[in-house]
């Protein structure tokens, strides 16, 4: 039963990472842009949700606000900064978006102060659900559900809508679809805002069970990059697979390594070694995947 629960936890953590990685891989894949500031959009979503939920008393209004605020911030950033970077190399993108992190973090601190904000789940999500003998938080089930819903939404968006067809066409050949009369500039703004909105939504939901504070986006950002690189950049399916793989590896590593190591060494050192190893595990996974398949699991061979 414990193993099953940990398995579910891994799934849930993977979905949490997917919420963050989906927007990142969309932007990465469509525009070829490395956006380190994706974590800042996640933070903006969480802060917007906390502020609105505090003012109105409604978590769901806060979630709406997080989508809107992050998408608006994304559109603004795209218009002011990002659109000048598409034709530049990755280095310039890294530096510019690194600069955006500094501005967003300190700007947020200037507006909201230095202390973490209050944000909690609505009553409908804060209970537990019984799954055949296993008591499981309903929130975590909701995250799994939302992750799946967003995956389906993105597949539909990319495969079944005009917007998706244009995006994929733009991915394949920018000049061509420009020549066909599609306004590629506004298309990119829309895609970037969509990616930002997804990050903001993730920030609001995950922020409700974590600490809403300045810098909260950074640890998740690195993991989100790990996820999309393992999956293969630009692939929604890859991001999903990568997220689940990372989520499982991390959770099961933390849960099972101490006991596993205790069979070959004394208990006291096993606990400490296992903890160190567990924190390195996702990076070992990533290096192993890339050495085996240099463009990720679902990446285009090139």
Partner 1 sequence: MSRAGTVNAALLAVLIGGAIAAHLAGELFVVTLATKAAIFALAGVGLNFALGYGGLISFGHAAFFGLGGYVTGILASHAMSGEPLTTLPYTMNGTNEMLAIWPMAMLVCGLAALAIGALSLRTSGVYFIMVTLAFAQMIYWFAVGWPRYGGEDGLSFYVRNVFPGVNSMQPLTWFAICTGLLLLALVFTATVMRARFGLALQAARRNPQRTVAVGIRPFGIRLTAFVLSAMITGLAGSLYADLNRFVSPAMLNWHMSGEIMVFVILGGVGRLTGPVAGAMLFVAMEHLLGGVSEYWPALLGLVLLGIVLFAPGGIVGILTGGRRRV
Partner 2 sequence: MRYTLTLAMAALLAAPAMADPIKVGMITTLSGGGAGLGVDTRDGFDLAMKLAGDAAVDITVITEDDQQKPDVAVQIADRMIQSEEVDILTGIVWSNLAMAVVPAAVQQGKFYLSTNAAPSALAGAQCHEDYFSLSYQNDNFHEAAGQAATDAGYENMVIMAPNYPAGKDALTGFKRFYEGEVASEIFTQVGQTDYAAEIAQIRDADADAVFFFLPGGMGISFLKQYSGSGVTTPLIGPAFSFSQDILPAAGDAALGIRNTASWSPDLDNEANKTFVDAFKAEYGRLPSVYAAQGYDTANLILSAVATADIADRDAFRDALMAADFPTVRGKFRFGPNRHPIQDLYLREVVRLDDGTLTNRIVDTAMTDRGDAYAADCTN
Binding residues for partner 2, rule: CB under 8 A, are: 2, 5-6, 9-10, 12-13, 16, 105-106, 109, 114-121, 126-128, 135, 137, 139-140, 206, 208-216, 219-220, 251-252, 254-255, 258, 271-272, 274-276, 278-279
Minimum gap (Å) between residue 213 Cβ and partner 2: 5
Residue 13 interaction partner, one of partner 1, partner 2, none, beta carbon < 5-8 Å per kind: partner 2
Secondary structure letter of residue 83 according to DSSP: G
Minimum gap (Å) between residue 225 Cβ and partner 2: 16
Tokens of 247: 């989520």
Secondary structure letter of residue 301 according to DSSP: P
Residue 287 interaction partner, one of partner 2, partner 1, none, beta carbon < 5-8 Å per kind: partner 1
Minimum gap (Å) between residue 297 Cβ and partner 2: 23
Residue numbers of the site for partner 1 (CB under 8 A)? 28, 34, 81, 84, 88-92, 94-96, 98-103, 105-107, 109-110, 222, 225-226, 229, 233, 272, 275-276, 279-280, 283-284, 286-287, 290-291, 294-296, 299
Task: Specify whether the CB–CB gap between 167 and 28 falls below 8 A.
Answer: no
Minimum gap (Å) between residue 234 Cβ and partner 1: 10
Q: Which of 106/183 has CB closer to partner 1?
A: 106
Q: Which of 210/295 has CB closer to partner 2?
A: 210
Secondary structure (DSSP) of 146-186: HHHHHHHHHHHHHHHSHHHHHHHHHHH-HHHHHHTT--HHH
Q: Which of 63/243 has CB closer to partner 1?
A: 243
Minimum gap (Å) between residue 116 Cβ and partner 2: 4
Q: Which of 114/263 has CB closer to partner 1?
A: 114
Residue 290 interaction partner, one of partner 2, partner 1, none, beta carbon < 5-8 Å per kind: partner 1
Q: Which of 131/179 has CB closer to partner 2?
A: 131
Long-range contacts of 67-72 (CB under 8 A, 24+ apart): 67/197, 67/200, 67/201, 67/204, 68/197, 69/44, 69/45, 69/200, 70/41, 70/42, 70/44, 70/45, 70/196, 70/197, 70/199, 70/200, 70/201, 70/203, 71/193, 71/194, 71/196, 71/197, 71/200, 72/193
**Which residues have CB under 8 Å from 45's CB, separation 6+?**
66, 67, 69, 70, 199, 200, 201, 202, 203, 204, 207
* Angle 37-280-28 from CA coordinates, rounded to 5°: 30
* Angle, helix 38-56 to helix 217-231, in steps of 10 degrees: 130
Residue 95 interaction partner, one of partner 2, partner 1, none, beta carbon < 5-8 Å per kind: partner 1
Q: Which of 90/159 has CB closer to partner 1?
A: 90
Radius of gyration (C-alpha) of the chain in whole angstroms: 20
Residue 220 interaction partner, one of partner 1, partner 2, none, beta carbon < 5-8 Å per kind: partner 2
Q: Which of 235/251 has CB closer to partner 2?
A: 251
Minimum gap (Å) between residue 105 Cβ and partner 1: 7
């Amino acid at each position: 039963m414990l193993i099953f629960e940990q398995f579910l936890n891994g799934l849930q953590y993977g979905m949490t990472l997917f919420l963050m990685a989906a927007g990142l891989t969309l932007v990465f894949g469509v525009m070829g842009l490395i956006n380190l500031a994706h974590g800042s959009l996640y933070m903006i979503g969480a802060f917007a949700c906390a502020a609105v939920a505090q003012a109105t008393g409604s978590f769901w209004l806060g979630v709406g606000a997080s989508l809107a605020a992050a998408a608006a911030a994304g559109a603004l950033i795209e218009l002011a900064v990002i659109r000048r970077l598409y034709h530049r190399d990755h280095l310039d993108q890294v530096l510019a978006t690194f600069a955006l992190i500094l501005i967003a973090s300190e700007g947020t601190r200037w507006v909201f102060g230095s202390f973490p904000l209050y944000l909690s789940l609505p009553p409908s999500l804060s209970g537990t659900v019984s799954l055949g003998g296993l008591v499981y938080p309903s929130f975590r089930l909701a995250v799994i559900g939302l992750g799946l819903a967003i995956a389906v939404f993105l597949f539909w968006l990319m495969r079944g809508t005009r917007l998706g067809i244009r995006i994929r066409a733009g991915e394949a050949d920018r000049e061509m679809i420009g020549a066909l009369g599609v306004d590629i500039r506004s298309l990119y703004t829309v895609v970037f805002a969509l990616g930002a909105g997804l990050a903001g939504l993730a920030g609001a939901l995950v922020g409700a069970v974590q600490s809403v504070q300045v810098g909260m986006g950074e640890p998740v950002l690195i993991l989100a990059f790990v996820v999309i690189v393992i999956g293969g950049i630009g692939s929604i399916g890859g991001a999903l697979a990568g997220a689940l793989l990372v989520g499982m590896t991390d959770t099961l590593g933390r849960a099972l390594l101490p006991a596993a190591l205790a069979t070959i060494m004394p208990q006291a050192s096993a606990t400490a070694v296992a903890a160190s190893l567990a924190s390195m595990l996702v990076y070992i996974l990533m290096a192993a995947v890339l050495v085996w398949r240099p463009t990720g699991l679902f990446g285009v061979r090139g």
